[in-house]
Amino acid sequence: MNKQTQVKAEDFIGLPKHKAQDVAEVKNLIFRLIRIDNEPYLPYPDEFYAERICVEIDNGRVTKAMIG
């Protein structure tokens, strides 16, 4: 991934879920949903993968995001 297409986890904070998924797709990132409100979906992965974005959502917006 070159610097022009590089994305930071902070870029996802505040986005609605569908917009975060769209951004992940455009940037060729795997979108991993960890939690929506108090409902867990998938755990955080043990292994680091630079082409994956893990997100937590509260009240329809991304409140936590992590590359890997």
Burial class (CB in 10 A: 0-12, 13-18, 19+), 13: middle
Residue the block writes with tokens 């904070």: 13
Share of the chain above pLDDT 90, in %: 90
Tokens coding 48? 């680091």
What pTM does this model have?
A: 0.87
How many domains is the chain partitioned into structurally? 1
State the CATH number of the domain containing residue 18: 3.30.10.10
pLDDT-based confidence at 1, cuts 50/70/90?
very low
Write out the residue range of the structural domain in which residue 54 sits: 9-67
The answer to whether residue 40 is domain-embedded is yes
The confidence score (pLDDT) of residue 7 equals 84
The answer to whether residue 37 is domain-embedded is yes
The answer to whether residue 17 is domain-embedded is yes
pLDDT tens-digit readout, 10-67: 999 999 999 999 999 999 999 999 999 999 999 999 999 999 999 999 999 999 999 9
The answer to whether residue 1 is domain-embedded is no
CA angle 40, 45, 47 (to 5 degrees): 175
In angstroms, rounded to a whole number, what is the distance separating the alpha carbons of residues 13 and 56? 9
